[in-house]
Each structure stands twice: as structure tokens, then as C-alpha cells.
Structure 1
């Protein structure tokens, strides 16, 4: 067991670095959404969320899959010491990204009114969508550079650039929203159109995404320039006679990204379909635009923001798993393949399960702490949808594993089946059960559960792999529910003793981290060898030994 973990420690370390950076970036994103939500209000966040949904689909169709594809192709060639071909793929991918990114940016910019009004049934979102359009070009180029470094086995440039991107995003978003909200207020008065104020504010809020992406692009380009000496030495060591042509590279690139684009589109388009269906059905049922846009604002600005923090970790581990699996497949090492699948899923669950329990037990205090929102609806949405943290984290990593195993079309099939079941379920809940915004929350549970079941079966069929259950799922769940009970009791105790919206929940969260870690180790859910595979693992082992939780 120790030997196997050591063979995967480099992969786990790189994945942990990227996961940590992704979680930090998401925490920053969640943090700045608090003042942004207070500035824009639920209506403004509704327009903001609609614009980002269209932007996200455009990003998926144009360049979202480029880092994954480039990392996979580069890794496979680096594993065989074909550095010239790895460089050829990088150069070809850059040219591809420039063309596709520019086209996507122009389509979204000039088609903003159509997408906002005709597709999303939210015409004021067009202002924010136009602001976001240049980001499609920037992200496309940046994605190729990130993917190149990931293919070389280094997640650090991606990790640092993600944090930089979110810091700039947070600052510019808040400043932009504040300024344009004032401009929008004047425009609303002069044109007698009240919705212009939140629409302008939403456009200001999206400025940060473009500014953050631009600064992040400058950073990865600087790293690439600093790395040119290493690249030259690698090319000199490659004495291969043939270099892949750009024609062949584009063919391979398209065959790699097309299934990823389709599967990711299906995987994410359910958000847009949910919101379009929700808006049209709510309007048909006689609800005012202001009312259902406010509900969507809570869903996108508060619920989704919190749920997405642990999901970032799963996406990061998936990103690190793909080039690692591609390299293992290239050299035919089945033992490494099994090890990487096992540890990707297991380490994801070690974070996802306690996150689910934390959201379930402390939903109302969290909403009050972060947004000053004591209403029942936001807390009920977070409690009800908390299980999606586990399901989406698991299905996201499974998707990446299948892509790393060269089963590129399998996630498409699984996502299409899940999407069909999901849409029927949401329609029934909206029309027949009239569950309002909760229909979308429950619909996400249905979709992600279907994906988990189908993906698990597909991985088993592809490589004969069975995920171990006890230490991956059962022991973390036991430790997490003990954590949940203790943290809830700590919150109630300090709520009675000192009150307020800050200190009771902070004490509860500190208790939660401590109880989960101790419980997990005591019941055998985390071993010393696995801790060593984590960043600062040696320090953690020393701490647990001093606490007599581990033997020396």
C-alpha cells in the first residue's frame, strides 16, 4: 500500500496544489459575491447570473476544453520523450485558440441582444453579456498555456494564475458594480425604465471577470517566457526524426476536444435550460418578473456560490488526473491507472462529504454570516441541495477519469441520459408540484445522481475498476456526521452565550475541522502514508503524533 501511494504522490501533490488554489479562488469568489450581492440586490444578481450562464456556454463551446485537451496530448508525448511534438501541439493549439476565441467573442458581443432576449428571456442581461464577450478570446489563449504546463506535470502556473485572476476579479467587480449602478440609476430615471439600474450594475460586476482573465494571461505568458530555457534544452534532447504536422495536430486536437465540448456542454447546459424553463413557467403561472428574478438571484448569487466552492476542488483533481492517466496509458501501466483513479475519487470524497454535512447542518448560520440573510428560502435551498456537493464532485472526477482513459464519448452518452431524466423531473416539479425554485435544486440532485451511477458503470466496463467503498465513502461519512452534530451543538451553545452573526458560526466551523480530522484518523479513514502524499503532510503527521492520534 505504501509503495503504491508513493508512486502516486507526485500526481496527488500536483492535484492537491491545484485543488488548494481552486478552493482559494472559489473562496475569494464567494467572499466578493457578498458585497456584490449587497450592491446589486437579488434582481441585479439575477441579470448577472443569466449573463454568466450564456458566457459559460460560449466558453464551453469555444475554449473551455482546450486546457484539458492540450494537457492530455502534451502529457502523452512527454511520457515518450517526444518534446518536439509536444511543442508543435502547443504552437498549433495557440493558433487554434486565437481563431476560435476571437470568433466566439465577436458572436457573443454582436449577438448579446438576441441571446439575452430570445434565448434567456431576460433582455436587460445583454449589457453584462457584451462586457463579458472579450473574455472569451482572453481565456482561450490563457487556457492553452495552462494546459501546456499541466501536460508537463506542473500545476503551479495554473494554480497561481487562478488565485491572481480571482483577486483582480473581486476588486474590479465590486468597483465596477458600484460605479455602473449609479450610472444605471440615472439612466433608469431619464428613460423611465427601473430595470436599467440593476442591469447596468450587473454589467459593472462582470468587468472583473474580463480584467482578472487578462491579468492572469499576462502572468502565465511571463512564466512561459521564463521557462523558455528549459524548453530549449528539452528540444535538444529530442532526437526524433519526425515532427507532427499542423494538419495532423488540428485533427487530433479536434477529435480530442469535440467529445469534451459536447459532454461538458450537456453537463452544464442544464443550468440554462433550468433557468429558461423556470422563467417561462413562472411567467405563465402569473408571477411577476421581479419576483422570479429575485429567486434566481438567490439561486445563482448565494446558493450556487457556496456549492461551487468544494466543487472547484473536484474539478482541480480531475484536471490533474487527465494528463497523469494519459501518461500511464501511454506506457501501459495498469497498476498506476488503478492507483490514480482510486486516489482521485478518494481524496475528492474526503473534502466533499464533510462539505455536504456542513451545508446541511449550518445552512442558516452560513447564509446569515455571509449575506446577512435570515430568510428561510436561501437556507432551505442550501440544506436541500447540499447533497449535490458529493454527487457533483464525484461525477466531475469520474468524467475526467473517463476522458483520461480515452473514453471521450462515454461522458456524452451518460450526460444526455441524465439530462433527459433531469428535464422531465424539473418540469414535473415546476408544473405539477409547483415547487418553485426548489424544483431546480432537486433537479440538480437528480442529474448528478444519474451521472454518478452511469459513470461508475462506465469506468468499471472500461478498465475493470471497482471503487473501494468503506474508506472512500463510509468512514468519511461517519466522521462527517459526528462533525456535523458537534458543530451544530457548538453553534447553539455560543449563540446562547454570546449571540451575534459572526462568532457562534466561526467557533462552530473551527470545531468542525478539528472533530472531522480527529474522527477520521481514529476510525482509520486516513492513514499516515496518505497524509505524506499531501502538501505539508510531514508537518500534519508530526502534529497528529504529538496529539497521540498516530504512532511514532
Structure 2
């Protein structure tokens, strides 16, 4: 009979999600502090050189990082669970061989093809920026293998440390070189800024490599003995990595492709209904303002996805049904705890938030606010899609999320064409279709989990408790905002409503026992939080 005690895999999953979530927020903030002064330094022309290099770079980075760390992490987690320790080392080396080849190809293509590419995009002065960025591809590819290795051991600290060092290197060196080279021309200054990504990648790879060496020495006894006779060849392991990574990578490519189609479709349909003169402004409000805010909670929910895959994989191969269900329930519950209040805040305070963040574009606040009030609901669907995708990847159903997202993308294209073409709906149709796309993909993921893996969860624990906390928070936010407008400027009223709403939400999480005893044991700083809870809320 299976024990009902919490398995260490589930403990590590929650800790890992917290670590990656906090790191992700920090890295995002650091990136914003880099981009804003860099834009002021280089101006529109210099930023065009800087930005032109990134679409090609990002394409190869998606190839290197979208599926491979997850594939290696999943395989190593399964091998640990089954005692196949020799295969862990072989999986790591196979990943290194594969990604060295992919990374070198990408770096060489971008470096030696830079002159041809910039001629094709009609931006010949960006060639140096391309060449300065090219070496980062192979370095990031190798770093992805190390990240996958530690993901398999459910140790997210090295993963997080490499992200921080990478971003610091990018910001410090990139901005420093841009300042130093500015007198020599915008081409060199932009190249210096892009070279920051290369030095950042070197810093990230260096710290995770040193951590790997220490980790191997510390855990030498654990990985010294193969407990089964099943030793796989490098070719078999590379094939297995590809079988897992390719569907995940294809899935990651669906949304960028869909967004590319979306740009053309939205602009054309707005023109068809006589709104061509305002098409650029309307699309900018959707993609540059509202969508940016909706994507922010993704930093934390993607951390949950990364962390849950190896935990689910280990429990799944060991057939520990109770612990598997508990881990999945925790993952979905954590996602809703983050995404539900974010949705409520973005929907209820959509226009005030736009007025607060974009004071120089106040004339667009009403329209962008209305777009945000629609897109805000997408935070829940996007977060749920991410975590259910991680769960399906963990139980070896990595093909299904890509197929489900493709179904959502088709619905988005159809709805965008129909709705944006209705004059009374116009740009709001694009927001509605995005909501429908993620809603469809999430629903299909949940159906797949239920139908093919018989995975279920307790709605009271997972949905109703955090929903109650969100409803109370929402009522307080509305009352505080309305009351504050009578005695203070609108921006301060918005800040007050957000701040008090967050405090009330945290209190309600404690009062409704949405945060459980297990959560305190698993999360960093959990003991201190439990003492606070016991002192004030019992």
C-alpha cells in the first residue's frame, strides 16, 4: 500500500517554483532597467541596429532552450527514480553533443551570414550587432544542458543563479560598452550593447559549470552505482531527447507564429472596415500596452511549469498515484493563487492602471483600459495552460499541448478575422480571440489529463478557497479605489487600492487556509510565515 506522506519530489517542486519565480521577477526588472536607459542612449536609430539582431538570435535560442532543458530534466528525473545512475551521466553528455552541434551551427550562421541577412532586412548598419551577438547562441545552448541537468535533480538554485549572472553580465557589459563606444558611432555602440548578451551568457555558463563540478563531487556516492542493468547508448539517448524536445519546441513556436499572422490579419481587417488610419495606434495599444501587462504573471507561472515537470516525471515512473495527484493539485492551486488575483486586479482597475503606468499617453487610457479588461482574463488561461502543459510533459504526453495550442491558434485566427471585421468590435475582437485561443488550449489540456491519465483534483481546495480570497480582495479594491478618489489624486488612489488589495488577499489566503501546513514546510521561509499565521490568524 502506498504511503500518504509527502514525497520529496513534491517538496522540491514547490521550493523550485518559488526560487525560479522570485528570480524571474528580479531578472525582468533588471532587464527593464537596461532597456530604458539604453533606448535613451542610442535613440531610435541605434535601437534599430540593436533590435534587428534579436529575431534571428531568438529563433536559435528557442531551438536551444524551449524543449531541451525540459527533455533532459525529465529523463534525468526518471533515471534517478529508477536507479539508472549511469544513464544520467550519459544523458548529460548526449545533450552536450547535440547542443554543441546546434549551437555552433547557429553561431556560425549568424556570424558569417550577418552581411547577407542585414542586406535582406534593409538594415546594413546592423551587421556588427549581429556578429557581436552570434557567439551567445552556442554558449546559451550549452548552458541549457546544465540547466536541464539540475532540473532533473529538482535543484533550481543553479538554474536561477545562472539566470541572474547572465542578466547582470548582459546589463553591466552591454550598457558599459554602449557608453564607451558611442563616440565611435551608433553601429559600434549597438554592437557593444548586443555583445553584453554574449558576456552575460559566458557569466551564466561559468557559474553553472562551477556549481556542476561541486555538485558532482558532493553527490559522487549517489551517482556511483547503477542499480539496474539498463545502460543506453548515446545514439538512443539523443533520439529520446529529440522525441521529447521536438514537440515542446514546436509548441513554443506556435504562439510567435500566431502573433505574426495576427499582426497582418488585424491590420488588414481594420483597414477593411475603414479604420486604416488608426490601425497602427490600435494594434500598438493591444500589443505594446495591454499584452505587456498580461504577460507579467507569466514569469511566475512559467517557473511553476519548469519545476513541476521533473517532479511529476519521477512520481509517474514510480507509479506513486497519491503523491502524483497531490503534486499536480499543488501545481494547479499555486497557479490559480497567482493568476486569479492578477486577473481581478487587471480587470477591475484596467483604465486606472493604464493612466498610472502611461501618463504621457493619457488620451489612449480608455481604449487600452477596455482592451486590458478583456485580456486580463487571459492571465488565468495562460497560467493554467502552462502548468497543465508541464504536467502532460511529465507524464510523457508532450505531443498533446502543442496540438491543443494549435487548435487554439486556429480558433484565434478565425475569430480575429470575423470579430475585427465588425466595426463596432474592431480591435477588441483581437483581444477576445486571444482569450478564446488560450481558453481552448487550456480546456483541451484538462480534458487530455482526465481522459488519458485519469488525473483529477479537488475543486474546493484548488479553486473555491482561492476564489473566495479573490472575491473579498476584489470588493475591498473597488471600495478603496472609489473612496480614495474622493480624497486624493487618481494615481495615488490606484496605488492605494492595489496595495491594500494585496494585503487583504494575503490575509484571506491565511484565513481560508488556502495556504496549507504542507505549503509552509515546502516553501522557502515557510517556518517564519507559519509563525506569523499562528500569531495573527488563529
Query: TM-score when scaled to structure 2?
Result: 0.85
Which range moved further: 425-434 or 412-421? 425-434
Q: Tell me the CA shift for residue 206 of structure 1.
A: 5.3
Structure 1 counterpart of 2:523: 534
- Quick check: 217-226 or 517-526, which moved more? 517-526
Deviations 1:385-406 (A, max 9, x none): 1111111000011111111110
Higher mean C-alpha displacement, 16-25 vs 255-264? 16-25
Instruction: Describe the superposition over 1:133-169 as per-residue Cα deviations: whole angstroms up to 9, x where unpaired.
Output: 4433222111110110111121111122223333444
Aligned to 1:520: 509
Q: Following the alignment from structure 2 to structure 1, what is the Cα–Cα distance between the partners of residues 49 and 341?
A: 32
Contact 1:51 1:125 in 2 (8 A): no
Say whether residues 1:165 and 2:154 are aligned partners: no
Q: Find out whether 1:325 has 2:327 as its counterpart.
A: no
Does structure 2 retain, via aligned residues, the 8 Å contact 1:40–1:202?
yes
Q: Determine the structure 2 residue equivalent to 1:481.
A: 471
Which residue of structure 2 aligns with residue 230 of structure 1?
218
**1:231-289 superposed Cα distances (whole Å, 9 cap, x missing partner):** 54344333665642211111111112122122222244322322344456667889889
Compared CA separation, residues 305 and 111, structure 1 to 2 (3 A): farther
1:236 alignment partner, SS class: coil
Shift of residue 176 of structure 1? 6.9
- Structure 1 residue 469, shift from structure 2 partner: 2.3
Q: Deviations over 1:499-534 (max 9, x none)?
A: 384x54443332122100122333343334433332
Are residues 180 and 415 of structure 1, via their aligned partners in 2, closer, same or farther at CA, if it must alter by over 3 Å? farther
RMSD: 3.8
SS of residue in 2 equivalent to 1:227 = helix
Shift of 1:293: 5.9
Deviation at 1:482, TM superposition (A): 2.7
Partner of 1:249: 237
1:336 paired with 2:323, answer yes
**Which of 421, 433, 437 matches 1:443?**
433
What CA distance in whole angstroms lies between the structure 2 residues aligned with 1:205 and 1:101? 21
Residue 152 of structure 2 corresponds to 151
* Aligned equivalents of 2:122, 2:450: Cα separation in 1: 43
**In structure 1, what is the Cα distance between the partners aligned to 2:447 and 2:113?**
41
How far apart in 2 are the matches of 1:124 and 1:280?
Answer: 29
Q: Alignment partner for residue 443 of structure 2, among 435, 442, 453?
A: 453
Would you say the 8 A contact 2:27–2:163 is kept in 1? Answer: yes
> d(CA) in 2 for partners of 1:286 and 1:433?
8
Query: Could you say which residue in structure 2 is the equivalent of 1:94?
Result: 96
Q: Which moved more, 1:485-494 or 1:321-330?
A: 485-494
Deviations 1:203-239 (A, max 9, x none): 7775554443332222212212322313543443336
Deviation, 1:68, is: 0.3
Given that 1:318 and 1:396 are in contact with CA atoms closer than 8 Å, whether structure 2 keeps it comes out as yes
Q: How does 1:182-197 map to 2 (within 5 A)?
A: none
Residues 65-76 of structure 1 mapped to structure 2, 5 A cutoff: 65-76=67-78
Q: Is the 1:70–1:89 contact (alpha carbons within 8 Å) kept by the matching residues of 2?
A: yes
396, 413, 419: which one aligns with 1:406: 396
SS of equivalent to 1:237: coil
Cross-structure match for 1:270: 258
Please name the residue that 1:58 is paired with: 60
Q: 2:297 aligns to what SS in structure 1?
A: helix
1:21 corresponds, among 23, 29, 42, to 23
Question: Given that residues 77 and 152 in structure 2 are in contact (C-alpha distance below 8 angstroms), is that contact kept between their aligned partners in structure 1?
Answer: yes
CA gap of 1:466–1:182, structure 2 versus 1, over 3 A, is farther
- Aligned partner of residue 309 in structure 1, secondary structure: coil
Deviation at 1:384, TM superposition (A): 2.5
Q: Shift of residue 308 of structure 1?
A: 2.5
Aligned length: 531
Structure 2 CA distance for partners of 1:214 and 1:227, relative to 1, 3 Å: same
Contact 2:83 2:227 in 1 (8 A): no
Q: Which residue of 2 aligns with 1:191?
A: none
Using the alignment, how far apart are the partners of 1:273 and 1:414 within structure 2? 18
Unaligned runs of 5+ in 1: 188-199
Structure 2 equivalent of residue 390 of structure 1: 380
Aligned mates of 1:532, 1:474 — CA distance in 2? 23
2:272·2:421 contact (CA, 8 Å) conserved in 1? no
Aligned to 1:190: none
Distance 1:512 1:331, change over 3 A: same
Is the CA contact (8 Å cut-off) linking 2:352 and 2:490 kept in structure 1?
no
Give distance in 1, aligned partners of 2:382 and 2:226: 41
Q: Is the 8 A contact 1:67 1:143 kept in 2?
A: yes
Superposition deviation, residue 439 in structure 1: 4.3
CA distance in 1, matches of 2:324, 2:379: 25
Segment of structure 1 superposing worse, 278-287 or 51-60: 278-287
Partners of 2:237 and 2:167 in 1: CA distance = 32
Residue pair 2:111, 2:134 contacting (<8 A) in 1 also: yes
TM-score (norm 1): 0.83
Flag the 1:235–1:528 CA change in 2: closer, same or farther, 3 A.
closer
Structure 2 distance, partners of 1:65, 1:266, is 13
Q: Output the CA distance in 1 between the equivalents of 2:350 and 2:75.
A: 42
Structure 1 residue 43: Cα displacement: 10
Change (3 A) 1:132 1:389: farther
Select between 516-525 and 292-301 the one with higher mean Cα deviation: 292-301
Matched residue SS, 1:351: helix
How far does residue 322 in structure 1 lie from its aligned partner after superposition? 1.0
